[in-house]
Amino acid sequence: MKRVIAIYPGSFDPPTNGHLDLIQRGAKIFSELVVGILRNSEKAPLFTVDERLDMLRQCTSQWPNVRIESFEGLLVDFARDRGAQAVLRGIRAVSDYEYELQMAWMNRKLDPTLETVFMMPAGAYSYLSSRLVREIAALGGSLATLVPASVEEQLRLRLGVAPLAPK
């Protein structure tokens, strides 16, 4: 069978269970999945790239064909460097579609040989985003089922929020 390498790019600030769901799905259909954390983001991130690399490595060690890396510059150049034929992106809802389609078209313009593949996470994660996770964490809400326990712990430490008292 043909070996297909895919890149799953993103900010992952922080990684959520939705990201992990997509990584698991991608790891099933691609020979190798390279998760690429964007380094040159203009946004001021909550976690450094090295922290996000560590978090994702910890949460994905059970999948031998998944590799976590960071990249700078154009995604198409990173994909070419890694010998990837596909880019994996998640679509949670129709609202994601316009932005994702624009990126996919632009990436196709930059490199017509690179295919973008869209996958849906489990329905339970269709409303989940890193931005909402950061907001809930900052306001002391429960993140159980939204992020791995290790990520929740890092969020609480970073934001100086005490763990929730058991009910």
Interface positions with ligand PNS (CB under 6 A):
9-11, 38, 74-75, 103, 106-107
CB of 114 to ligand PNS, least distance (A): 11
Considering the complex, state which of residue 38 and residue 56 has its C-beta at the smaller distance from ligand PNS. Answer: 38
CB of 160 to ligand PNS, least distance (A): 25
Active site residue 43: yes
Nearest residue to ligand PNS on Cβ basis: 10
CB of 103 to ligand PNS, least distance (A): 4
Considering the complex, state which of residue 11 and residue 150 has its C-beta at the smaller distance from ligand PNS. Answer: 11
Give phi and psi for 40, each to the nearest 5.
Answer: -100, 40
Active site residue 2: no
Active site residue 131: no
CB of 62 to ligand PNS, least distance (A): 23
Considering the complex, state which of residue 17 and residue 107 has its C-beta at the smaller distance from ligand PNS. Answer: 107
Give phi and psi for 143, each to the nearest 5.
Answer: -110, 10
- Per the DSSP assignment, residues forming a β-bridge with 35 are 8, 68
Burial class of residue 51 in the structure, from the number of CB atoms within 10 Å of its CB (0-12 exposed, 13-18 middle, 19+ buried):
middle
Considering the complex, state which of residue 108 and residue 161 has its C-beta at the smaller distance from ligand PNS. Answer: 108
- In the 8-state DSSP scheme, what is residue 164? P
Identity (one letter) of the amino acid at 33?
A: L
Catalytic residue among 3, 43, 109, 167: 43
Active site residue 130: yes
For 55-113, the DSSP string reads: HHHHHHTT-TTEEEEEE-S-HHHHHHHTT--EEEEE--SHHHHHHHHHHHHHHHHH-TT
Catalytic residue among 25, 52, 130, 134: 130
Number of C-beta neighbours around residue 91 at 10 A: 17
First-to-last C-alpha distance (Å) of the chain: 52
What residues act catalytically?
A: 19, 43, 92, 130
